[in-house]
Amino acid sequence: MTAVAKAQSDDVAYPSSIGFVLIHAGCFAVFWTGLTWRAGVLAIMLYLVRLFGIGAGYHRYFAHRAFRTTRLFQFGLALLAQSSAQRGILWWAANHRLHHRHSDTTEDVHSPVQRGFLYAHLGWIFVPRNNDTDYTVVRDLSRYNELMWLDRHPYLPAAVLATMTWLIAGWPGLAIGFCWSTVAVWHVTFSINSVAHVVGRQRYVTGDQSRNNWLLALLTMGEGWHNNHHAYQASVRQGFRWWEYDPTYYALRALSWLGIVWDLHVPPRSVISGEHRLGRLVIDKVACQLAASFPINQIANQVHDALAHRPGWADVRARISSARIQAEAFWSDVDLPLVPTLEEVRRYAMERIAQTPSLEEIAVRARERLLELVFSRLSEAATASGVT
């Protein structure tokens, strides 16, 4: 896809955002309806209950299958989650699974690192190319006809809920009970995609910018322990420490005592303590990020200048520009103090990433990648000089 085509595909489709804007505008109807205690209580209840639907339903169950339940309760969770008007259950789960697969890379559907904070917060939702559900990612869910039906009618539960708030508490119930709580639920949920990849603490090495944010955890009933979640995605418990507030997990534990849910997955002790070894994909991802953070052009220029003042520079330059030679073969014959040593890369990594038993593997791969990048710059320079 060309840069122009990509930019066009990322344009917000304004007709699809009309409902989003109208519900925000509906919040201001309070100036005409007035504020009643019944509407206020309704708003608080719907905020908390629907946050549970999102955290336990959309996220921990449908996206990550962190516990098991009956088909009836599964449908109830889906209804509750979709009453928040965050599109269909399968669409939500598919996009979230893809987010984890490509977290904070160019393929991530909502990375603030790649496309900016506002796009990650809400812009991506209204981009036409993100409208479709990738059913290949959610085959385990698409076999349920009732979930497929809900996914085809994504806003029906929210519309029914809006009607109920009007019947219960009149126009204040609709403006405050529904609109206020819906907008609040939207933005705290969206903040996990945006704020939780920018602000907070990284306890674990995950290969992305996921962070633990205690304030978001308070606002989202436990979803703000985002770095914990990325370290062990299948966990029903996202607050790994006893003091990490996670009411969604507490509620699921209570439901497990009643036999409504079971097989609650929790992280092993080695994960919680940070003693587990990272997978190859994460090691490679972190190593490439570390290598790219070095001043590659500066190192390449220094290496180039040092080689240019050595005898036989013409032969060396010819070797660099050869399409047949690889970085590993080239560096095996060249020993330059200008290139960071493995020990220097190791120290560099220790200063920038969380403690992990896979540090040595990350450092080794990072130096390999660093040499590849420097060699690539040298090759480009040699080719530009006209050597063949």
Q: Please, are residues 152 and 19 in contact by the beta-carbon 8 Å criterion?
A: no
Question: What pLDDT was estimated at residue 16?
Answer: 62
Task: Identify the residue whose tokens are 């309760």.
Answer: 73
Q: Is the dihedral of CA 45, 46, 47, 53 positive or negative?
A: positive
Q: Do strands 261-262 and 68-69 pair parallel, antiparallel, or not at all (unpaired)? A: antiparallel
Tokens of 366: 């990072």
Question: What pLDDT was estimated at residue 310?
Answer: 67
Give the DSSP per-residue string, 35-54.
--HHHHHHHHHHHHHHHHII
Q: What is the pTM of this model?
A: 0.88
Q: Please, are residues 48 and 55 in contact by the beta-carbon 8 Å criterion?
A: no
What is the rounded radius of gyration, in angstroms, for the C-alpha atoms of the chain? Answer: 26
Distance CA 165, CA 214 (A): 31
Distance CA 282, CA 232 (A): 12
Among the listed residues 221, 202, 223, the one whose alpha carbon sits nearest the alpha carbon of residue 211: 202
Enclosing H/E stretch for 140: helix 139-142
pLDDT tens series, the chain, 388 aa: 444 444 445 554 455 678 899 999 999 999 999 999 999 999 999 999 999 999 999 999 999 999 999 999 999 999 999 999 999 999 999 999 999 999 999 999 999 999 999 999 999 998 888 888 999 999 999 999 999 999 999 999 999 999 999 999 999 999 999 999 999 999 999 999 999 999 999 999 999 999 999 999 999 999 999 999 999 999 999 999 999 999 999 999 999 999 999 999 999 999 999 999 999 999 999 999 999 999 988 888 887 777 777 666 666 666 666 655 566 666 666 666 678 888 989 999 999 888 899 999 999 999 889 888 888 887 777 666 654 4
Q: Is the dihedral of CA 330, 333, 334, 339 positive or negative?
A: positive
Distance CA 383, CA 234 (A): 48
Instruction: Please state, as a whole number, how many other Cβ atoms lie within 10 Å of the Cβ of residue 324.
Output: 6
Task: Identify the residue whose tokens are 């005592």.
Answer: 257
Residue 185, sorted as left (phi over 0), alpha (psi -120 to 50) or beta, turns out to be alpha
Distance CA 83, CA 192 (A): 19
* Residues in the chain, total: 388
Task: Reduce the DSSP state of residue 212 to 3 states and report it.
Answer: strand
Among the listed residues 353, 365, 221, the one whose alpha carbon sits nearest the alpha carbon of residue 287: 365
Give the DSSP per-residue string, 98-138.
HHHHTTTSTT-TT-HHHH-HHHHHTGGGG-GGG-S--GGGG
Task: Identify the residue whose tokens are 């709580």.
Answer: 181
Q: Please, are residues 192 and 228 in contact by the beta-carbon 8 Å criterion?
A: no
The span from the first CA to the last CA of the chain, in angstroms, equals 31
139 Cβ contact list (under 8 Å, min separation 6): none
Question: What pLDDT was estimated at residue 332?
Answer: 61
CA geometry: angle 163, 164, 169, nearest 5 deg:
105
Tokens of 357: 């038993």
Distance CA 3, CA 310 (A): 42
Among the listed residues 90, 65, 68, the one whose alpha carbon sits nearest the alpha carbon of residue 235: 65
23 Cβ contact list (under 8 Å, min separation 6): 85, 179, 182, 183
